[in-house]
Structure formats: structure tokens, C-alpha cells
Amino acid sequence: MQTKILIIDHNDSFTFNLVQLFEEIQDVEVNVLNVGNFDLNMCSSYDAIVLSPGPGLPQDYPAVYELLKKFYTLKPILGICLGLQHIVHFFGGALYNLDSVQHGKQSAIFLLAEDVLFKNIQQPVLAGLYHSWAAAKNKFPDCLEITSQTAEGVVMALRHKKYPISAVQFHPESYMTPNGKQMLENWVKVL
């Protein structure tokens, strides 16, 4: 049986790299809907939802807030980059603007807690970064757990303590994340 995954595209050039990686995973069907052109009823038939990377901040995309409100208890959700920021914002956390923009940089990230995304992946993990905003640890939602960070302490991955919600600040679809496909496969295996 195929797992149906919906990717909400935030008008980002990386989205189709993400689609390609998911399509390489056995028994996965992927569909993409643009963030400006979907309604919540269109999301009901999917097994899981991926919030893609993209420009801007979560408050620029009110439809995603409504999507999270409707589905966070019902469907597995994976946030990538802006997707992680959506999840933090939705659950009442804050973001901050980094002192140094991290566009096209590779960084080692370190696990703080067990996380299915990193199963069977050697530590530290190399990850491709393309962001200028990050989750603020001092205003981090209690319902979420930080599972990895950079050596400088920037949040790189999280999971919800009760629901099947995961997110990464880095880009698993980037060539600078050598184990990115394995991370996505790990997520799909637990759907």
C-alpha cells in the first residue's frame, strides 16, 4: 500500500528536490500543493503532510496556521526549515534573527535526544543550512522537544512530545546533507 504524502510548497526552489527524494522512497506517492492555492479539505486524503522550506516568516502564511490547527492531532507532520519555524510559532514559541545568515553553509549538528529521523546515521550529522531565522530556546514551547542543535546551540531538529510531528531547520534535500534521504526514509517508515 502506498503512503500518500502532501507537500505544502512555500514557493521554494528546494521543494522539487524534496519531491524527488520522496519519490525515490518505495511505496510513497507525493503530491504538491502551493501554499497560496489550497484549502483544508484538499489535505484530508493524505497520510502525512510536509511543510516545505520557503521565504519569509510563519505569519506570512496564515493558511498553514489553519492547516496545523486542523491536522496536528490527526496526521504526521514534517516541517523543513520554514516548516520547523511554522511548528514552533504555532505552538507559541518565538523565532530570532541570526547574527550571521546561514545560506549555503554546511554544519555539523549534534543529537540531544533520540529522534527517528537520525536512526542509523553516524553522529555528528552534516547538514546543509539555508536560513536566517531560528527557534528561540528561551521561548521554546513546552510541548516540543529539541532533538539536535549546532555546536553554537542553534536548534536544528525537534519533535512533539505527544503527536507525530517532527521538524528540521536544515535541508535534508540539499547535497550538503549527505544522509538527507535516509532521514526522510526513517520518517516514512514510522508513518
Residue 10: its pLDDT value, please? 97
Residue 29: its pLDDT value, please? 97
pLDDT in tens, 93-152: 999 998 877 777 899 999 999 999 999 999 999 999 988 999 999 999 999 999 999 999
Confidence band of 61 (pLDDT split at 50, 70, 90): very high
Assigned C-alpha cell, 113: 535526544
Residue 12: its pLDDT value, please? 92
Residue 108: its pLDDT value, please? 97
DSSP code per residue over 77-115? EEEETHHHHHHHHHTT--EEEEEEEEEEEEEEEEESS--
Q: Is 143 a catalytic residue?
A: no
Query: Model-level pTM?
Result: 0.96
Residue 39: its pLDDT value, please? 87
| Exposed / middle / buried, residue 162 (Cβ in 10 Å: 0-12, 13-18, 19+) | exposed
Residue 71: its pLDDT value, please? 98
Residue 100: its pLDDT value, please? 76
For all residues of the chain together, what is the average pLDDT?
Answer: 96
List the catalytic residue out of 86, 131, 171, 185.
171
List the catalytic residue out of 81, 89, 131, 160.
81
Angle, helices 82-90 vs 62-71, to 10°: value is: 60
Residue 1: its pLDDT value, please? 83
Assigned C-alpha cell, 37: 492555492
Does position 27 have pLDDT exceeding 80, yes or no? yes
Q: Which fold has domain 3-189?
A: Rossmann fold (3.40.50)
Does position 66 have pLDDT exceeding 80, yes or no? yes
Average pLDDT on 156-171 reads 98
Name the DSSP letter for residue 171.
Answer: B
List the catalytic residue out of 89, 131, 160, 173.
173
Residue 101: its pLDDT value, please? 73
Instruction: Report the C-alpha gap between 187 and 100 in whole angstroms.
Output: 30
